[in-house]
Amino acid sequence: MSRVSIPVSLSSDELAELVSWSRSSSLAHRYVQRAAVILSWRDGLTLDETAVRAGLSRAACNKWRRRFERDRIAGLMEAPRPGRPTTVSAEVRTRVIETASSKPSGGYSSWSQRRIAKKCGVSQTTVHDILAGADLKPHRTEYWCGKPSDPEFESKMLDIIGLYLNPPENAIVLCVDEKSQMQVLDRTQPVLPMRKGTPKRLTATYTRHGTVSLIAALSVHTDQVTARPINGNTSQNFLAFLKVLYRKHPGKHLHVVADNLSAHKTAEVKEWLSHRRRITIHYTPTYSSWLNQVEIWFNILTKDVLKGGVWTSRQQLIDQLVEYVKTYSRDRAKPFKWTYTGKPCQA
C-alpha cells in the first residue's frame, strides 16, 4: 500500500501556472502530465493514485516530484541533453522558413512538417525545431474579422445598439431573420438510448426528408419569440411576416432589425413600408448580421432542437419547432444581457 503523501505547498503563481498547463490544449502533453503530478501531490494523492491520474509510471511521478521540490516550476522543464548539440546552418533555417511561409504546389493548401522536410532535404525533427524557434505554425489556421466594407458601418451599428440599450417610448424592438435549409434527417436504424457510460447513439447513415425554413422575430426587451415556417427566403414571405407582426402589436411603433438580404429590400416591401407610419426597418451593416440578436436565439434553437434530432417527415419537424417556440416564450424568455467588458481592438 502506498504511503499517504504530505501535500506540497504551492504559491498562488505556481498554482495558476500549473492549472494553466493542465488545461492547455496546445502545450506538449508531457507538460500536462507533469502538471498533473504536482497538482495531485498538492491534493494529497499517493504515488499510485498520481500515476493513474497523470498516466505515468510510479517512478516517473516520483522523479517529477523531486525535480519540482528542488527547482520548482523550472524543474519541470526539459533538461539539456548530453552530447554534441545539433548545428543547423543559417541557410537551412532560411530555406525551411521561406518554404513554410510560401504557398505549396501540387494542389495542397498548407504545409505539413513532413513535406517541408522532404522539400528542404532535412529531417522532420530539424523542421520542427526551426519552426518552433521562429514561432511559426503552418498547420494552423485562425480567422479574424476584417475592417467592415460598409462605409456607414459605425452609424448603422450605433443606431441598432441604441435601440437595444435605450429604446424609444411606446416602441417594440424586433430582430427578424430567416433560418433556412434545416435538414429533416431520419436514421436508418433505431436510436440507441443513453446508458451509464454511453451517450445516446445515432447511426451515421440517414434518410433525408427535405428541409424546413423558419422566419422568426425576437422581441429584444422581453425575449418573446414569434415564428412561422416558410417555404423559402422570398420577399413575399418576409412581407407577410411583417404584416403579422404589425397586426400583433397595435398601437406600438415597431423597430425591426433585419439584415441586407435582397428579399428584405424589394420594391414590394418598400412600397408597403412607405404607407405604414408605425414600423421602421433598421438594416444591419453589410456582413454584420451578428448585430441581429435573433441570431443568438437561432443558435439556442440549433442546440435545443436540431442537434441529434430525428424526424420521419417535414411536418414532424415543423410541429416540433412550433411547440418549441411556444415553450421557449412561456418558460425561458429572458432578455439577453451584455457581458463583454473588454476594450475594442484598435484598427
Which tens digits make up the pLDDT trace of 13-34?
888 889 888 888 877 888 899 9
**Direct distance between the N- and C-terminal alpha carbons of the chain, in angstroms, rounded to an integer:** 62
CA distance readout (Å), 182 to 65, 179, 311? 54, 7, 12
Instruction: Decide: 347 and 338 in contact? Cβ < 8 Å.
Output: no
CA atoms of 346 and 3, how far apart (whole Å): 56
Q: Which residues contact 325 (CB under 8 A, 6 or more apart)?
A: 216, 225, 226, 227
Task: Give yes or no: residues 312 and 164 share one domain.
Answer: yes
Residue 345 has pLDDT above 60, yes or no: no
Do 120 and 252 belong to one domain? no
Cell readout for 174 is 424586433
Task: Report the CATH number at residue 220.
Answer: 3.30.420.10
Cα–Cα nearest to 175, from 335, 340, 344, 341: 335
Say if 338 falls within a structural domain: no
3-class SS at 3? coil
Are residues 323 and 225 both part of a single domain? yes
Whether residue 337 is contained in a domain is answered as no
Residues 61-119 pLDDT 10s: 999 999 998 888 888 887 666 666 667 888 999 999 999 999 999 899 999 999 999 99
In a domain, 295, yes or no: yes
Q: List the one residue out of 206, 184, 202 whose CA is nearest residue 193.
A: 202
The answer as to whether 298 is a domain residue is yes
* Residue 32 belongs to domain spanning: 12-76
User: Looking at the domain assignment, is residue 104 inside a domain?
Assistant: yes
229 with 272, same domain? yes
317 and 176 fall within a common domain: yes
Domain count within the chain: 3
Do residues 307 and 168 both lie within one domain? yes
Question: Which residue, 311, 321, 307, 317, is CA-closest to 226?
Answer: 321
CA dihedral 263, 266, 272, 276 (to 10 degrees): 80
**Residue 184 backbone dihedrals phi, psi, to 5 degrees:** -95, 100
pTM value > 0.75: no
pLDDT tens, position by position, 312-325: 999 999 999 999 99
The pLDDT score that the predictor gives to residue 259 is: 94
Domain boundary among 26, 44, 76: 76
Neighbours of 7 (CB within 10 A): 12
Is the C-alpha dihedral spanning 79, 85, 90, 95 positive or negative? negative
Q: Using only C-alpha atoms, what is the Rg of the chain?
A: 29
pLDDT of residue 342 exceeding 80, the answer is: no
Indicate whether 61 and 123 sit together in one domain: no
Nearest to 163 by CA among 255, 252, 242, 248: 255
Do 184 and 227 fall into the same domain? Answer: yes
225-230 and 206-219 as β-strands: parallel, antiparallel, unpaired? antiparallel
In a shared domain, residues 54 and 125: no
43 lies in the same domain as 112: no
More confident residue, 318 or 9: 318
222 and 271 fall within a common domain: yes
Instruction: Tell me whether residue 7 is in a domain.
Output: no
Cβ atoms of residues 31 and 76 within 8 Å: yes
Q: What tens digit of pLDDT does each residue of 238-284 get?
A: 999 999 999 999 999 999 999 999 999 999 999 999 999 999 999 99
Residue 142 counted as domain residue? no
Q: Is residue 276 a part of any domain in this protein?
A: yes
Q: Are residues 174 and 304 in the same domain?
A: yes
SS3 346: coil
Q: Give the closest residue to 279 by CA, choosing from 217, 213, 214.
A: 217
